[in-house]
Amino acid sequence: NAGVTQTPKFRVLKTGQSMTLLCAQDMNHEYMYWYRQDPGMGLRLIHYSVGEGTTAKGEVPDGYNVSRLKKQNFLLGLESAAPSQTSVYFCASSYGLMSTEAFFGQGTRLTVV
Amino acid sequence: GENVEQHPSTLSVQEGDSAVIKCTYSDSASNYFPWYKQELGKGPQLIIDIRSNVGEKKDQRIAVTLNKTAKHFSLHITETQPEDSAVYFCAASWEAGNMLTFGGGTRLMVKP
């Protein structure tokens, strides 16, 4: 029972480099989300998707892009990484709206130097 | 938009004591309030939630209370155990469509 799987788990980038974080869920959930977690600031929503082929901006979308070409996958891209994007990134999925339980992946620790 | 404040940011208790974490929210339209527990190196996991039509909910050693008039809700853990040590997040959302807004988190340490 994999649930929500994120790859990679750790990554170090140089300023200006690009990368893609992959999130995969095997629960047939419609909704998927990308959060970033910074000390003392809780979890902040970057982008989310309410179904295959859809994406929407969250609270802190600048500097990130997302795609949901397949229902089970949600990709988060950084086109030109900046030190301010150093954070722990969590993907989550839920059956419906966030008024139902959200299942989180184990996180990706990204450092931009 | 919604703003959720969580206190305290760190809490240390002796095993067997009770722990209380408090949150306030700003949007009176919010009507769903979950609590998540995050263990070291893992993603957050839902432990209990409450909806606006309920004032209190219990599940074994944990309980959540909601005061909609004052716009605050609290997590109560009784008979704490070392395995309760983790970071706890409160959150709020408007069921009809808004996303969850999380508090800043509370690091709970239970000393044996």
* Average pLDDT of the segment spanning A7-25: 97
Percent of chain A residues topping a pLDDT of 90: 85
3 state DSSP class of B94: coil
- B/e letters for B13-27, b = 16+ CB within 10 Å, e = fewer, are beeeeebbbbbbbeb
Distances B94 to A61, B2, B98, B103 between C-alpha atoms, Å: 20, 9, 5, 15
Interface of B with A (CB under 8 A): 1, 4, 6, 9, 32, 34, 36, 41-46, 49, 51, 89, 93, 95-105
Q: Is the pLDDT of residue B96 over 60?
A: no
Q: Do B93 and A90 touch (CB under 8 A)?
A: no
> Measured on CA atoms in the order B99, A2, A7, A50, is the torsion positive or negative?
negative
Question: Which candidate, B53, B27, B100, B47, places its Cα nearest to that of A96?
Answer: B100
Q: Do A42 and B6 touch (CB under 8 A)?
A: yes
> Per-residue pLDDT tens for B63-83?
999 999 999 999 999 999 999
Q: Is the pLDDT of residue A2 over 90?
A: no
- Contacting residues of A for B6, CB less than 8 Å apart: 42
β-bridge partners, A103: A93
β-bridge partners, A27: none
Give the model's pLDDT for residue A100: 74
> Per-residue pLDDT tens for A26-73?
999 999 999 999 987 789 999 999 999 999 999 999 999 999 999 999
Q: Do B43 and A45 touch (CB under 8 A)?
A: no
Q: Environment class of residue A70 by beta-carbon count within 10 Å: exposed (0-12), middle (13-18) or buried (19+)?
A: exposed
Question: Which candidate, A23, A97, A98, A62, places its Cα nearest to that of B102?
Answer: A98
Q: Which of B36, B43, B99 is closest, CB to CB, to A58?
A: B99
The better pLDDT of the pair A1, B69 is held by B69
Given its phi and psi angles, is residue A12 left (phi above 0), alpha (psi -120 to 50 degrees) or beta?
A: beta
Least-confidence region, from A21-30, A70-79, A97-106, B95-104: B95-104
Q: Do A98 and B98 touch (CB under 8 A)?
A: yes
Contact A33/B at CB under 8 A: yes
β-bridge partners, A25: A4
Q: Which of B6, B9, B93 is closest, CB to CB, to A98?
A: B93
Q: Is the pLDDT of residue A1 over 70?
A: no
Give the model's pLDDT for residue B54: 82
Give the model's pLDDT for residue A98: 55
